[in-house]
Amino acid sequence: MNYKDLCEQVIEVAKMAGGFIREESLAFNSSHIEYKGLNDMVSYVDKTAEAKIINELSLLLPDSGFIAEEGTQNATAERFNWIIDPLDGTTNFIHGIPTYAVSIALKENDELVVGVIYEINRDECFYAWKGSEAFLNGKRISVSENKDLSSSLIATGFPYYDFKRQQSYINLFNDVMQKCHGLRRIGAASVDLAYTACGRFDAYFEYNLKPWDIAAGLLILKQAGGEYFDFSGGTNALETCDVVATNGKLSVELNNIIKHHFNTNNHD
């Protein structure tokens, strides 16, 4: 398998879907919104973009399976499975806030081997493949060199459903805000991970995510020299979808803070 060639083809698919989303944003209105659950919105834009992506990826790897947010096709395969968020940042898109992205990852057995994130409004494509460095629009990227939380800019997200751990999260916000340069919430997990991979953020944490939010970003971050783990400090972030991503130099300090607020009792 030539992962580099495959990644380049996936970039074209992501940009194709991004172009469709960009065009639709010009005339989109709230009458097109559907609700999948509490504060969980979707529109024909998400669904159509996903269908377009799946159609193209099926041609690249005919026997591959799909794990996709909108469920237009969710049949997994034995070896290769695409993990797709056709429009990460749907709430931003619906409200006209210009940060949202197409996120596509390929998992071979249990290993992420291709990751592409196309942030539509800035026309920025982040990508990596197994064994590669990480790139942004053709230029190599790497995580920041910042060693101190006190001089770091940290990204996070807010839970929009399942509020059982909300108080622990608020306590965590309070703690981190007093120990860093600033805490930012963009509203698209894939972009948070991409920005951590290229050093704009020094670290990122969020819980209650989904695999399609983070799969591509986790690979790109890793290939950019970063680290990721779950809220317990373990290696199952893609499975638990509780994610801490860092430049590798802040891991211990940030992990200790998060574990202080999210012990096993907080998960019940």
Residue 84 contacts residue 53 (beta carbons within 8 Å): yes
Residue 87 annotated in ligand binding: yes
Report which secondary-structure segment, H or E, holds 208. Answer: none
Structure tokens at 183: 């805490």
Structure tokens at 154: 């940290």
Note the residue count of the chain: 268
DSSP 231: T
Report which secondary-structure segment, H or E, holds 264. Answer: none
Q: Of 103, 120, 119, whose CA–CA distance to 219 is shortest? A: 103
Structure tokens at 265: 């009792």
CA 149/CA 177 separation, integer angstroms: 10
CA 128/CA 126 separation, integer angstroms: 7
Strand 124-129: give its sheet, edge to edge.
Answer: 65-68, 80-88, 101-108, 111-119, 124-129, 134-136, 139-141
Q: If DSSP states are collapsed to H, E and C, what string results for 8-48?
A: HHHHHHHHHHHHHHHHHHCCCCHHHCEEEECCEEECHHHHH
Coil/strand/helix, residue 144 = coil
Residue 85 annotated in ligand binding: yes
Q: Of 210, 198, 195, whose CA–CA distance to 155 is shortest? A: 195
Residues contributing to the annotated binding site: 69, 85, 87-88, 213
Residues contributing to the annotated binding site for Mg(2+): 69, 85, 87-88, 213
